[in-house]
Amino acid sequence: MPELDFEITPEIVLKAYAAGIFPMAEDADDPGLFWVDPQFRGIIPIDDFRISRRLARTVKSDRFNVRSDQSFEGVISGCAQSRMNGEKTWINERIRSLYSSLFELGYCHTIEVYNEEQLVGGLYGITLGSAFFGESMFHIERDASKVALVHLVARLKRNNFTLIDTQFVTDHLAGFGAIEIPRRRYKDLLQQAICQSADWDEWPGNCSISGTDILSILI
């Protein structure tokens, strides 16, 4: 896709999401951005979300404390670290600045996973209407990002979201039920979703929600 050689603003990013495209960078050291409009798009059908028995036990154990929108900088910093397999991050300074602004405007949200008071995993993404656009996730303890995803989908399902966009489908996401759909089908679902209302904050504040309650929403 062509590189963006003009000043991109948070408002432009939101218009891009509404049109079915999103910005990325080649890597953390590249100052440029480019639009991405995949021929096939990854989504997680909310009603077909899958959780393994082992992960369900971890969620139910309340081993982690899960919060939302408390540490955007902590989450995006975790996501921007190089992966254990050597894969480089695409989160450059321009991405960090844009999504920080979107967080301040109330369009970007986080799910954060803590072991006591240490942030050990999480994810962030954008909301428009009843659509959630997942951007990135990270973990430094086993299962932390998986627990974040389970809590995310429970929140979205409870609060009447209809579309979870994963951009692409990895083997990891496929294990949770992620599928690929053609671009035209995705954009049809997108237009329906952004015209419907859903409220990220329609949730019992930032109080701790038990794993048992989370699972009851999903199963």
**Domain boundaries in the chain?**
3-218
pLDDT in tens, 171-196: 999 999 999 999 999 999 999 999 99
Structure tokens at 137: 């996730």
Q: In the predicted model, is pLDDT for residue 82 greater than 70?
A: no
> Mean per-residue pLDDT for 57-63?
96
Lowest mean pLDDT among 31-35, 38-42, 186-190: 31-35
Coil/strand/helix, residue 169: coil
Average pLDDT of every residue of the chain: 92
Q: In the predicted model, is pLDDT for residue 63 greater than 70?
A: yes
pLDDT in tens, 121-152: 999 999 999 999 999 999 999 999 999 999 99
How far is Cα 132 from Cα 145, in angstroms, rounded to an integer?
17
> Mean per-residue pLDDT for 193-213?
84
Asked: is 3-218 a CATH 3.40.630.70 domain? The reply is: yes
The number of residues in the chain equals 219
Report in angstroms the alpha-carbon separations of 33 from 119, 151, 171.
29, 30, 26
